[in-house]
Amino acid sequence: MTDTMIIRTEDLTKAYGTKTAVNHLSLEIRRGEIFGLLGPNGAGKTTTILMLLGLTEPTQGKALIDGYDCTRQSMQVKRITGYMPDNVGFYSDMTGRENLRFTARLNGIPEKEIDPLIDRLIGKVGMTYAADQKTGTYSKGMRQRLGIADVLIKDPAVIIMDEPTAGLDPEGMREFLSLIKQLSVEDGKTILVSSHQLYQIQQICDRVGIFVEGSLIACGGIGELGSQIAAQGHYTLEISTEPCDDRFLGFLGELDGISGISKEGSTFVISSSKDLRSDITRFLGTHEYKLLHMHQKGGDLDEIYRVYFEEAEKEGDEDHDKNGSRKHRFSHRGT
């Protein structure tokens, strides 16, 4: 990965009547990085991708890939950009190899180069064993891996993937994510991944952007965003002790900075505006409690996602109070 920006949007906006699907998006993605665009259905991720691919025109602003304007120079953009939708389509009565050969010919690959290229790509994605099977017999994971080979036919500098891990089983997802990481680290591809599957994305992305109702509300590395949350006074502590009694609960209730306490089985979940671990461990040691489990949340993507969405909802409520109109509240559908 370099510091050179290969994808850039400036004030990118797309409105459909009174509905703003993408709201003044300004974003830069570095060459060679894996960037995760996160948000629920309807957040504006797919609309952003369509504008990057030159498949829909922005209402305002612009998008650039490697210096090419995605609207006015869409053919140049398509030559250097590969796109993989959430449900990759192949001709089901053709084999994997035949589908790739068809794509190669569409992309003008010289005939003598096609078969050696296909052999190399199906080996790269681990599909040599199934290359001569009809794709109608493929599982979702097999289609996704063949989809990467299909995208790589034209050797794009940028690969855009829309919900690529949806519907994969755990083993298929692990293999697929490993392949995506390989494309970035070993091949230097820039990869933009649109997804709502937080845990999986956390494993491979260099940076993430969080999308809510068409607006990018946070952007950065996962560690960086986690540190920002802590600096803003958002702490969630999970702690399990023996005994787990009212005396300990009473102590917690007297601590400064507590904003909420809940109990899940034998584990207390404590929300606070500061780090309480030293105060709690001191109490436990003094009163001879046994500490079974303690985990300060905040650095993981699920917690980052939750906090930023809650803040976005609060801002929506404030806009409602000021303007007398209510924006649609985001409903977190989970991962």
Cβ-proximal residues to 60 (8 Å cutoff; 6+ apart), any chain: 11, 12, 13, 24
- The confidence band for 327, taking pLDDT boundaries of 50, 70 and 90, is very low
CB 82, CB 106: distance < 8 Å:
no
Q: What is the pLDDT of residues 17-46, one digit of tens each?
A: 999 999 999 999 999 999 999 888 788 999
CATH of domain 235-297: 3.30.70.100
Q: What is the pLDDT of residues 166-179, one digit of tens each?
A: 778 888 888 888 99
Tokens describing residue 36: 């995760």
Tokens describing residue 290: 């046994």
CATH of domain 5-89+144-226: 3.40.50.300
Which of the pair, 200 or 120, is modelled with greater confidence? 120
Q: What is the pLDDT of residue 330?
A: 31
Q: What is the pLDDT of residues 201-250, one digit of tens each?
A: 778 899 988 888 888 888 888 777 766 665 565 678 889 999 888 898 88
Q: Which of these, 152, 180, 150, lies nearest to 164 by C-alpha position?
A: 180
Q: Where are the domains of the chain?
A: 5-89+144-226, 235-297
Q: What is the pLDDT of residues 241-299, one digit of tens each?
A: 998 888 988 898 889 888 888 887 778 888 887 888 899 999 999 999 999 988 876 55
Which of the pair, 222 or 333, is modelled with greater confidence? 222
- The confidence band for 325, taking pLDDT boundaries of 50, 70 and 90, is very low
CB 181, CB 103: distance < 8 Å:
no
In the chain, beta strands by DSSP E: 5-16, 19-30, 34-38, 60-65, 68-69, 81-84, 158-162, 190-195, 207-212, 215-220, 235-242, 258-264, 267-272, 290-297
Q: What single letter denotes the amino acid at residue 25?
A: L
